[in-house]
Amino acid sequence: MSHTVVEKILGAHAGREVFPDEIVDVEIDARVARDFGGANVVKNLREHRLDVADPTRTFFTFDCNPTGSDQKYAANQQICRLFAREQGVGLFDIDRGIGTHLAIDNGLVGPGGTLVSTDSHANILGAIGAFGQGMGDVDIAHAFAHGRIWFKVPPTVQVEFVGTPSPLATPKDLVLAALRLFGANGLLGYSAEFTGEAIERLSLDGRITVSSMATEMGGIIALIPPSHQVIDHCRRASARFEPVFADEDARYARTVQVDVEGLLPLLSRPGHPEDVVEVAEVAGQPIDSAFVGSCTNGRMEDLRAVARLLQEHKLAPGVVLKIVPATDRIWRQCLDEGLIEVFKRAGAMVGNAGCAGCAAGQIGQTGPGEVAVSTGNRNFAGKQGKGLMYLASPATAASSAIAGAITTVDALDIAPQRVSRPVPQRIDQAPETGSGVAAKPTRMTGRVWVVDKDNIDTDMIYHNRHLAVTDLLEMGQFTFGNLPGWEQFPQEAQPGDILVVGQNFGCGSSRQQAVDCFKALEVGLIVGRSFGAIYERNAINNALPILVADLVHSGIKDGDQIEVDLTTGEIRLPDGRLLAGQPFSEVQMAIYQKGGLL
């Protein structure tokens, strides 16, 4: 049989031929936990008396808060350090950088390999033609303990980039063009293979940028066939891999073309990564700050592009530019090439290697009303503070910081503008609530809450400022604290209530707390048109019942009572109508009845 890349990789690691929608047990080459989530992984292992299967394939990476500037992060890091010493587990401490980049550059995984991490952008490994997946704490604890984890083999979408972009277009603009086409859930549940001349010409740095944003399209992963340059880079770190390519007659769920002919610089408007427009449409918008870094744009090519612009210019008065290299190796290369001097002379702040503000770290947060241009991959409301965040390429971010307003390299006005101050946005505090653990029947009746919204992300469900919380009993009070209009949900929800939501519920981060907060409130069931891929796993693995069905358009309203059969997927509405949902799979039901994966 002929197969796609993801089918070949998962098949090789499952020890047999696999096909889309099969659930298979997959061997994991590298199992990674970050400082965010790592302490919970340790807690899960301790509570269930599980040992580490293979310490040589098991790692911690401290990239969310490299300085340990938050006391809870510092405590979590120390828990992981002590566990690593005790178990002989690999540790990339606060001085090393972003875990996914370290995995590539240090040969933890090569093309054709498999990696799981508590990082929702672990699928960045698609840049080298490897399979990476972000997961919650329970999944990673299982992988630590057993070296394997279950996967549902995703169908594959072939994505061909057609045309020749303008000279101004960067890798970030290519992936923003794809995001503009697919939206927040156009690749939901799919693996993608990115092809086309514009992709093939990309260096490893550019491929990392492109692959890093598959998550923002709902995708499992965006795989790019490795070039000779990429293979050579990986060979220098590890010789233990065999590149994998799709068969010529591989079967795809569909083939989609992304038109990049004459592509100009793009950006995402605040709040929604998929709200992509040409930079020209918002040119002239005054800004307060810019950020260059994150797993999407913290490589050498990105930083050299910024340095070329800052060679001759300083930042606009009142504008702050924050630069964070992805890894310490890149930081040192910037030092060797004189880029640090260029950055500092221009007035930029250079931070320790790591994720920076994207993961609630010490650099990159915004204040109320602050307008910023970021090279990150997400700009959800509240994700990086209380300001307004545009997503763009390093060249656009640096040009805008120089001009004091959003602009492109070719339109850069060297006479800086004064920065205006927009009215601050209001970010409400999450109310307090109770907590508890839900019962586990296969038939349930409950009161309905209808949240008729698509693409409710994990920051809306459970904001990143609470990520250091590890006690489930504390989590319920923060549920929907960042979803406008739903801040009172924790106070009003009752045990056994049923939440009805739209498409792509739980997109975004891999954070386990976005599931656990509903368990703390004893929510009985979540019924959604579709769920974010990582969120779906986290819910299943933690025995939070979720069911795929379209109830948003059924006519039900808040307070209605419905009856649901998890075994058949049958839903009885208040007027007696029966709707068909997707019944629990055998694996889901087994985990649910067991009370969780562990």
**Same-domain check for residues 455 and 397:** no
Q: Tokens 């007696």 correspond to what residue?
A: 576
Q: What is the C-alpha radius of gyration for the chain, rounded to an integer number of angstroms? A: 23
pLDDT grade for 570, boundaries at 50, 70 and 90: very high
We report the CATH number of the domain holding residue 308 as 3.30.499.10
Q: Tokens 């370290």 correspond to what residue?
A: 102
Among 259, 291, 310, identify where a domain stops.
Answer: 259
Residue 124 located in a structural domain? yes
Q: How far apart are CA 152 and CA 188, in angstroms?
A: 13
Q: Which of 509, 92, 122, 458 is nearest to 295 (CA)?
A: 122
Q: How far apart are CA 114 and CA 107, in angstroms?
A: 12
* pLDDT confidence of residue 430: 40
Question: Do strands 561-565 and 570-572 pair parallel, antiparallel, or not at all (unpaired)?
Answer: antiparallel
**Same-domain check for residues 235 and 312:** no
**Same-domain check for residues 47 and 170:** yes
Residues 6 or more apart whose Cβ sits within 8 Å of residue 306 = 292, 323, 343, 394, 395, 397, 398
Residue 266 located in a structural domain? no
* pLDDT confidence of residue 464: 83
Domain span at 248: 5-259
Residue 435 located in a structural domain? no
Q: Report whether pLDDT(240) > 90.
A: no
- Summarize pLDDT for 41-87 with one digit per residue, the tens: 999 999 999 999 999 999 999 998 887 777 788 899 999 999 999 99
Residue 572 located in a structural domain? yes
Transcribe 412-438 into DSSP letters.
--SSPPPPP-PPPPP-PPPPP------
Average pLDDT of 463-479?
87
pLDDT grade for 274, boundaries at 50, 70 and 90: very high
Residue 419 located in a structural domain? no
DSSP state of 31: E
**Same-domain check for residues 200 and 332:** no
Residue 227 located in a structural domain? yes
**Same-domain check for residues 173 and 286:** no
* pLDDT confidence of residue 186: 95
**Same-domain check for residues 73 and 188:** yes
**Same-domain check for residues 505 and 387:** no
* pLDDT confidence of residue 432: 45
**Same-domain check for residues 341 and 465:** no
* pLDDT confidence of residue 572: 96
Average pLDDT of 302-314?
95
Question: Taking the CB of residue 242, how many other CB atoms lie within 10 A of it?
Answer: 9
Q: Report whether pLDDT(505) > 70.
A: yes
Q: How far apart are CA 582 and CA 332, in angstroms?
A: 52
Q: Within 13 Å, how many C-alpha atoms sit on residue 13's CB side?
A: 30
Distances (CA, A) of 61 to 118, 133, 160, 309: 10, 15, 34, 32
Instruction: Please classify residue 251 by burial: count the beta carbons closer than 10 Å to its beta carbon, then call 0-12 exposed, 13-18 middle and 19+ buried.
Output: middle
**Same-domain check for residues 400 and 520:** no
* pLDDT confidence of residue 360: 58
Q: Report whether pLDDT(419) > 80.
A: no
pLDDT grade for 363, boundaries at 50, 70 and 90: confident
Residue 309 located in a structural domain? yes
**Same-domain check for residues 96 and 145:** yes
pLDDT grade for 107, boundaries at 50, 70 and 90: very high
Q: Report whether pLDDT(28) > 60.
A: yes
- Summarize pLDDT for 323-344 with one digit per residue, the tens: 999 999 999 999 999 999 999 9
Residue 429 located in a structural domain? no
Q: Report whether pLDDT(424) > 80.
A: no
Q: Report whether pLDDT(385) > 90.
A: no
Q: Which of 37, 114, 99 is nearest to 355 (CA)?
A: 99
**Same-domain check for residues 329 and 468:** no
Number of domains in the chain: 3
We report the CATH number of the domain holding residue 523 as 3.20.19.10
Among 366, 394, 411, identify where a domain stops.
Answer: 411
Among 391, 411, 431, identify where a domain stops.
Answer: 411
* pLDDT confidence of residue 36: 82
Percent of the chain with pLDDT over 70: 95
* H or E element, residue 44: helix 35-47
- Summarize pLDDT for 506-561 with one digit per residue, the tens: 999 899 999 999 999 999 999 999 999 999 999 999 999 999 999 999 999 999 99
* pLDDT confidence of residue 260: 98
**Same-domain check for residues 175 and 79:** yes
* pLDDT confidence of residue 431: 41
